[in-house]
Amino acid sequence: MAQYAKPLARLVGEFEKLPGIGPKSAQRLAFYILRLSEEEAKSLADAIVEVKLRIGYCRVCYNFTDQEVCDICRDTRRSDETICVVADPRDLIAIEKTGEFRGKYHVLGGVLAPMEGIGPDQLKIRELLARLQTQEAEIKETVIATNPNVEGDATALYLARLLKPLGVRVTRIAHGVPVGGDLDYADQATLIQAYEGRREM
């Protein structure tokens, strides 16, 4: 990066660390930042700092929130009888966009991936079990909405084995989502079909 002035080279280098950003995209973003007014650049920098300082995890479902308990968990209009288990907050947002699910969520924080050193202890599985066992309103169904790939399927099977003995109905969203695909890339119609076609595990 000798062709860039040092501050610009640093900015390009930082952008390259972002997922899905290669050298050309990093350069484009850096030059875009250079064209911003000082006020716009400060606003962007402030937004990044604010999200790091203020966003944490909901103590109930582990979704991202700027409060102790997220808006979804506090919403009294939502059913306490169904919990949708997702790998990460992006999947929660994808399902919310369909407008079909009116229950609560539980975010695992990933999926089982032994090759990457991610086992049950690295996920919010213990917290899910505790929630199912201590929830005041009886939870009747747990919908497992992990991606339809090897890790997602393995996580779903593992959870089903843990949850069934608790007397909770365990379902999995149907494979309307392409195998190997990600929920956050699926269109709403596909997600609605997948949700409606969920099946017993």
Predicted pLDDT at 17: 96
3-class DSSP assignment, residue 148: coil
Class of domain 75-200 as given by CATH: alpha beta
Pick the CATH number of 6-54 from 3.40.50.40, 3.50.30.40, 3.40.190.10, 1.10.8.420: 1.10.8.420
**Over the stretch 134-163, which tens digit does the pLDDT of each residue have?**
865 588 999 999 998 889 999 999 999 999
Domains 6-54 and 75-200 share a fold: no
Q: How buried is residue 86: exposed, middle or buried, by Cβ count under 10 Å (0-12/13-18/19+)? A: buried
107: β partners? 86
Q: Taking residues 53-66, what's their average pLDDT?
A: 96
**Over the stretch 108-122, which tens digit does the pLDDT of each residue have?**
999 999 889 999 999
Q: Is the pLDDT of residue 87 over 70?
A: yes
Delimit the domains of the chain by residue range: 6-54, 75-200
Q: Is the pLDDT of residue 199 over 90?
A: no
Q: Is the pLDDT of residue 2 over 70?
A: no
| Of 176 and 200, more confident | 200
Predicted structure pTM score: 0.80
